[in-house]
Structure 1
Amino acid sequence: MKKYIVAGIMICITILSCTNDFEETNTNLNEPETASQDLLLSTAISTVANRAVQSGWNGGNIVGQLTAKINFTGFDRYEWGSESGLWDEYYGILPEIDIILKSSVKEETKNTTYEGIALVLRSYVFSILTDNWGNIPFTEALQGTEGNFTPKYDNQEVIYKTILQDLKKASELLALGKTIRIAGTLNGGDILYEGDTKKWLKFANSLRLRYLLRISNKVDVSSEMKTIVDNGMFIKTNQENAVMTYPATTQTDSWSISTSRIGSFDEHRLSQTSETILKKFNDGRLFSWFQPTDNPEDAPDLYVGLPNGLSEDNASTFNGGAKNVSRLRESFFYRSPNSVKAAIIQAAEVQFILAEAAQQGWIAGDAKTFYEEGVRLSFAYWETNQDINAYLLQTGVVYDGRLETIITQKWLASFLVGYEGWYDFRRTGLPSFITPGPDNVNNDKVPVRFLYPDNEQTLNSQNYEQAVSEIGGNTINAKGWWEN
C-alpha cells in the first residue's frame, strides 16, 4: 500500500513541477508570440499603399472621371453602398500600427522614429476613413482589447484636429533622425523609404499640408502652413515621393489588378472627360495611360473616350462596342511591376497645394512657379516625353491666377492616387467639367460619402444611430464638416 502512496506523491510532484515552469518550458524561442516592429511595419506600409492604388483604380479614377466603366457600371452611376471591404481593411490594419506605436514608447523598446512613422501611418488611415464616411469610430476605435466592442463615433472636426496634432508630433520625432534599423534586418521593415528618416519627415509634413488645405474652408491654416513651408522639409522631388514600388518581376506577384482576370482590367476605359481635356491640351499623358482603340478599321492613333455614368446597355454599345473605346495601357496589367507604383502622396500634389496656398496669400512664394513645377513633376513621374515649356503656354494650361487652372492640373496628377481628385472636387466644386453621367441614379449629384457598413448598424447600433443623426442621415449625399 505504501508504494502506491509514494507513487501518487511522485506523480503529484511531477505534475506540479511541470505546471510551475510550464510557460518557460513550452516557449519556443524560434516562434515569438508577438510580431516584431519591423514585420508589422512592412505589413502596414504595404497594406496602406496597396489600398491607395487599388482605391484609385476601382473608385477614385471613376468618380473623378479620369476613367469610366464599360461593364458593371453601378459605381459609375452612383449606385453606392458601404464599400465595407475598404472600411474593414483600414480598420483591420490599425491595430498593427497601434502595436508599433505602443511598443515604440516602452522603455525597453523605445524608438522615436518608429513612433513617428506609426503616427504618420495612423493619421493617413484615419484621414481616409473620415473623408470617405464622415463621423467614424476614432478615440475608442482601438479599445477592443479593453473590452470595448461598441466604440463611439467622433465628428470630423475632432478627428482632423487630432490628426494634425499627431502629424506635428511625428515631424518632431522624425526630425531627431534616430535609426530604425534592427539587428538582422536591412531597413527595420521600412519598405517605403528604406530607413531614411528625413524622407519620412518630409512625408509627414506633406500630409500636414494636404490636410490643412482640406480643412481650409473651416479653419485659418495660414500660420501652420507658413511654418511648414518656411522650414522646407516637405516632399519636393519624385525621389522623395511616398510611393511604394512593387518588388515583383512577374505579373503574378505585383499589384492586385495584374493577378485578376483580363476582363476586370478591360472594364476600365478612357473617359470622355479625360479624352476632352487631354486632347485639348495636347497632353502626352493620354499616351502614358491609355491606348488606341482595338478596331483594326480605325486609325492606329485613334483614342476614344467613354462617357461616365452610362447604364450597362448604353456603355457596352457606345460607339459601336468595346473595341471602339480606348482601354488603359496593357502595361498596367501585363507589366505592372514596371508601370504601376502605389502612391500615397507625390511631389506634384505638394506643389499644387503650395500654388493654391500662395495664390490665397497664406504662404510666401510665387503661385505660378509652384504650379508649373507641379506640372513638370507629374509629367516626369509618368515618364511622359513632351516639351513642357510649350505645354505650359497653352490656353487653359498657362497660369492665369484662377483656382480652376490649378485644380485641373492637380486633378490630372491624381491619376491612381486614391480618392484625392474626388476630395478636391468636394472641397472646391472643381474641376467644373465633372458632372454626373446621363444614367446616374443620384438625382444628378456627385456623391460625397459611402454608406456605413451594415455590421455597424447591427453590432454598434446605439453609436451608429447617434452618428447618422449628427451627419443628417446615412446617405451618400451627407456632406462632411470640411466640405464646400
Structure 2
Amino acid sequence: MRTFKLQYIRNLAIAGISAVVALAGCTKDFERINTNPYGVSEDDLKTDFRLIGEPFKQIQNSIYGNSPGWVMQVQQNLEGDIWSGYMGVPGPFGNGGNNNSTYNLIDGWTVVMWGCAYGNYPDAPNLSVMPVARRIEQLAGEEFKDFKAWMQILKVLVMQRVSDVYGPIIYTKYGVINPDKSIDYDSQKDAYYAFFKDLNDAITVLTPLRNSALKPFEKFDLTYDGSYGAWLKFANSLRLRLAIRIAKVDPVKAKAEGEAALSNPGGLLSTVADIAAVNIAPTPNPYNTYTSGYNDIRMGAPMESILTGYNDPRIAKYFDTATAMPGGIYKGIRTGIALPDKIYADYSKLAPMPSKMQLMTAAEVWFLKAEAALRGWAEAGTAKDNYEAGVRASFAQYELASRADAYLANNTAKAAPYVDTKNPVNNVNASDPTISTVTIRWEEGDAFERKLERIITQKWISVFPDGQEAWSEFRRTGYPKLFKVVVNNSGGKIPTDLYIRRVNFANTEYASNPLGVQRAVTLLGGPDNGGTRLWWDKP
C-alpha cells in the first residue's frame, strides 16, 4: 500500500477545507460530491488513496456543472446545445429574448464555463477543475503516477471544452503570476499542443497497465469503475478527437497525433459498453429538469428537419412527440426567432434521460476514424467501413440494432423542410440553402466534401445530447447545415451568415486579470466577441 507524506497532506487538507467556504458556482454540491473528504483520520491519510482520490469526483462533476441544475443550463444548454441545432428555447427566457439565442451574449451566462474551470481564480484557491488538478499533480509524484495520468486525461477533457468556447485559455501558465500581477493565457494552438503532450504522458503511463486487474481509482471513478484499460481507450479516443479538430489548420500535427491514437495497443472506444459517461446519481439528469421541470428547452428545428427527413428511429429515443399536434408529430424550435411569450412550450420535449452525463460514445469514435481514413491517416481503415460502423454503434446504443441495415441502404431520404406552426416567418422551405441534401447511404464515388458532410451529419446525430461537441464540429466543418437566426441582436458583431463562432472572455477576467486578458485578445486575431473564429476554425 502506498503511503502519503503526512504533513504535506495535512496542509493540503487544511487548504481544501478553507476553499470549501468560499466556493460558488459549479462547486456548491459538496455534501454529495465530496462528503468532506478532508475530515479524515491519520489512518485514512495512510490508506485507501482517499485524499488523492476524492477530488477526482469534483473534476468529473465539473465537466458539466450538473448541480445545482442552473449551472449547466448556462454553461452548456444556453450555449452549445442551442447553437448546435439540437435544442431551442420555447420562450423569451432571460432579458426578454434578447440573449444568447439571438446572439446578444449575456455576461452572466458566458462567465459560468470559465468559473467551472477556474472558480474565483486568481483571487483564491478552490475546488474547481484547474485548482484541483494542480493539487493532485503536486501530490502525485512518481509514487502516484497512475493517478496523475488519470488527472491529465480529465484535465484535458475539461480544458479542451473550455478552449473550444473561448479560444486562448490559462493552461500551461496556470499559477504563474507575473510581476504586474497578471496571468498569461496560452494561444489556442499552444493549448492544444499542451493537451497532446499531457495525453501522451498519460497514455505512456497507462499503456503497460492496460491489462492489470488492480483498480486503485475504483472508489472515486464515476465513469469506468477504476479500469486502467477503459481509461486508456478513452485517452486514445480523446487524442483522436483533438487530432481531427485541428486537421484543417495544422494537418501535419493532426496526422501525427491521430496516427499515434490509432496505433496504440490499448485501442479506442468501439462498442456500446465502452461509452464514457459520468454517473451523477442520485442527482437527476439536468436535461430532464430543463425540459420538464423548468419547461425551458425543446427540440431544435434542425433536429426535426434531419431526423424526420431521414425517418430516423432515434428520434423517439431523443424526443417526445409534441402535445401541440395530435398523431405522434415531432416539432422543433428554430433558434434565434422572435419569442413574445413561451408559446412553443407545446413543442417536443427531450425524452427522459438517465443520471449519466455522456462524454464520448463508440459511435463518435467510429466517425472520427471515418474522417481519419478520408484524410489518409495510417491504420484508420476505410471511410466506408468506419462510417457504417458508426451508424451501427449509435443504433445499438439505443437498442435499435435491427434497423441499421435498412437505414444504411437508404439513398433517397434527405432533410425535410421546416414548418413553424406558430409563425410562418420562421419556415425553411426545401430550396433554402440551409436545408441539407446529403443522403444516408455511403457513396464511394462522391467527392471528398460530400463524404465529409455525410460523416459529420451522422456524427452530429450520434453525439446528441452533447451540443457543445456538435457546435464545435459545425464550426470546424460547416456540417450539418443549420438554419440561420432570424433575429440577430449582436449589433453587427456576429454576422448572421457567419453563425456564432465563440464566446467572449469572462467579465471576471477583465476585472481581476485585465492585463492578462488584454494580451489574450491579441492572440485571437480579431475582436473579443462571438464573431471571431478560433484557431482551428479555418474557413
**TM-score band, normalised by the shorter chain?**
0.7 to 0.9
- Map 1:14-93 → 2, pairs under 5 A: 30=41, 36-48=51-63, 57-71=77-91, 72=93, 73=97, 74-82=99-107, 83-91=110-118, 92-93=128-129
- Map 1:156-175 → 2, pairs under 5 A: 156-175=188-207
What secondary structure sits across from 1:449 in the alignment? coil
Q: Displacement of 1:102 after TM fit?
A: 2.1
Aligned residues: 433
Q: Displacement of 1:81 after TM fit?
A: 3.5
- Map 1:132-143 → 2, pairs under 5 A: 132-143=165-176
Q: Displacement of 1:66 after TM fit?
A: 1.4
Distance 1:199 1:160 in 2: 23
Distance 1:85 1:454 in 2: 10
Selected match of 1:476 from 520, 526, 530: 530
- Contact 2:291/2:350 (CA < 8 Å) preserved in 1? no
Distance 2:62 2:520 in 1: 28
- Contact 1:136/1:154 (CA < 8 Å) preserved in 2? yes
Name the amino acid aligned to 2:364.
E
Name the amino acid aligned to 1:453.
A
Distance 1:261 1:273 in 2: 18
Segments of 5+ residues of structure 2 without an aligned counterpart are 1-10, 15-37, 119-127, 412-438
The 1:380/1:309 distance shift into structure 2, 3 A limit, reads same
Distance 2:134 2:213 in 1: 20
Matched, 1:112 2:145: yes
The 1:446/1:152 distance shift into structure 2, 3 A limit, reads same
Q: Displacement of 1:263 after TM fit?
A: 5.1
- TM-score normalised by length of structure 1: 0.82
Distance 1:148 1:257 in 2: 43
Selected match of 2:442 from 399, 405, 418: 399
Distance 1:203 1:149 in 2: 38
Q: Deviations over 1:377-427 (max 9, x none)?
A: 112223346511000111211112511000100111121225111111111
- Contact 1:355/1:368 (CA < 8 Å) preserved in 2? yes
Distance 1:203 1:126 in 2: 16
- Map 1:436-455 → 2, pairs under 5 A: 436-441=484-489, 442-444=494-496, 445-455=498-508
Q: Deviations over 1:105-156 (max 9, x none)?
A: 15xxx12210110111111222112111111222222347x99963111111
Distance 2:515 2:397 in 1: 47
Name the amino acid aligned to 1:80.
L
The 1:258/1:301 distance shift into structure 2, 3 A limit, reads closer
Q: Deviations over 1:457-482 (max 9, x none)?
A: 12211111111133222111111111
Segments of 5+ residues of structure 1 without an aligned counterpart are 1-22
What secondary structure sits across from 2:54 in the alignment? helix
Q: Displacement of 1:245 after TM fit?
A: 2.8
- Aligned equivalent of 2:30: none
Name the amino acid aligned to 2:407.
Y
What secondary structure sits across from 1:344 in the alignment? strand
Q: Displacement of 1:304 after TM fit?
A: 2.0
- Aligned equivalent of 2:31: none
- Aligned equivalent of 1:328: 350
Matched, 1:428 2:513: no
Distance 1:171 1:420 in 2: 23
- Aligned equivalent of 2:279: 245
Name the amino acid aligned to 2:58.
T
- Map 1:281-300 → 2, pairs under 5 A: 281-295=310-324, 298-300=325-327
Matched, 1:154 2:203: no
- Contact 2:83/2:467 (CA < 8 Å) preserved in 1? no
Q: Displacement of 1:58 after TM fit?
A: 3.8
- Contact 2:373/2:382 (CA < 8 Å) preserved in 1? yes
Selected match of 2:240 from 184, 189, 209: 209
What secondary structure sits across from 1:392 in the alignment? helix
The 1:76/1:380 distance shift into structure 2, 3 A limit, reads farther
The 1:261/1:390 distance shift into structure 2, 3 A limit, reads closer
The 1:470/1:112 distance shift into structure 2, 3 A limit, reads closer
Selected match of 2:156 from 105, 115, 123: 123
What secondary structure sits across from 1:176 in the alignment? helix
The 1:262/1:66 distance shift into structure 2, 3 A limit, reads closer
Distance 1:196 1:175 in 2: 12
What secondary structure sits across from 2:136 in the alignment? helix
- Aligned equivalent of 2:332: 305
Selected match of 2:136 from 100, 103, 107: 100
- TM-score normalised by length of structure 2: 0.74
Specify which structure has the bigger relative contact order, considering alpha-carbon pairs within 8 angstroms and separated by 6 or more residues. 1
User: What percent identity do the matched residue pairs reach?
Assistant: 26
Name the amino acid aligned to 1:474.
D
Please, what is the CA RMSD of the aligned residues?
2.9
Selected match of 2:464 from 404, 415, 421: 415
Name the amino acid aligned to 2:83.
V
The 1:28/1:126 distance shift into structure 2, 3 A limit, reads closer
- Contact 1:179/1:195 (CA < 8 Å) preserved in 2? no
- Contact 2:150/2:202 (CA < 8 Å) preserved in 1? yes
Q: Displacement of 1:288 after TM fit?
A: 0.9
Q: Displacement of 1:174 after TM fit?
A: 0.9
Distance 1:443 1:479 in 2: 12
The 1:42/1:67 distance shift into structure 2, 3 A limit, reads same
What secondary structure sits across from 1:439 in the alignment? coil
Distance 1:161 1:361 in 2: 22
Name the amino acid aligned to 2:200.
K
Q: Deviations over 1:248-283 (max 9, x none)?
A: 3xxxx323344579452x221222211111111110
Q: Deviations over 1:334-371 (max 9, x none)?
A: xx43xxx2111111111101001101212341111101
Name the amino acid aligned to 1:64.
S
Name the amino acid aligned to 1:161.
Y
- Contact 2:102/2:337 (CA < 8 Å) preserved in 1? yes
Distance 2:129 2:462 in 1: 27
- Aligned equivalent of 2:360: 345
- Contact 2:392/2:401 (CA < 8 Å) preserved in 1? no
Distance 2:39 2:400 in 1: 54
Name the amino acid aligned to 2:286.
S
Who wins on radius of gyration, i.e. which is larger? 1
What secondary structure sits across from 1:343 in the alignment? strand
Name the amino acid aligned to 1:405.
R
What secondary structure sits across from 2:522 in the alignment? helix
